[in-house]
Amino acid sequence: MPAAARPLPEPFGQLFAEWRRLTEREGVSIQAAAWEEVLLVQETKKRLQSEILEAEHRSAPWSAADRETRRVLVSELVLLELRNLDWLGQQRTAAEAERASIEKSRHDLRRLHRSFAPPAGGVWQSYS
């Protein structure tokens, strides 16, 4: 049976499946720029990581077949994490471009205001 098709001993099968589900959810949230959801998923993954480490300490030694299955599953999860990292980089690039555009517009508006607005001192002088 291929490593990816072979189930991991519990609780690892369930824990790794939950990690995959959360990583997929994280990716959808990154693409939607739903940053509160991304933070929630990352906090949940941090707790899940602790559960995985605790289970690892309590578990019996892994068989060679189980180690290979785990290696394949972890490799798949790493690829999903890298995909999310790429999507996050794309979102950051888009946000930086938007910020630069807003800064340019703000600068242009300030220049226009200085060109057409009456001097501040002139308004107050008329009330003297």
Task: Please give the Cα distance from 22 to 24 (Å, whole number).
Answer: 5
The position carrying tokens 């589900």 is 21
Pair 70, 12: CB distance under 8 Å: yes
Question: pTM of the predicted model, to two decimals?
Answer: 0.76
3 φ, ψ to 5°?
Answer: -55, -45
Confidence at residue 6, expressed as pLDDT on a 0 to 100 scale: 77
Q: What would the pLDDT profile of 40-60 be if each residue is shown by its tens digit?
A: 999 999 999 999 999 999 988
pLDDT greater than 60 at residue 128: no
Position 22: which residue type?
L
The ranges assigned to domains in the chain are: 3-90
Task: Please give the Cα distance from 16 to 6 (Å, whole number).
Answer: 13
Q: What would the pLDDT profile of 59-111 be if each residue is shown by its tens digit?
A: 888 899 999 999 999 999 999 999 999 999 999 999 898 898 899 889 888 88
120: buried, middle or exposed (CB in 10 Å: 19+, 13-18, 0-12)? exposed
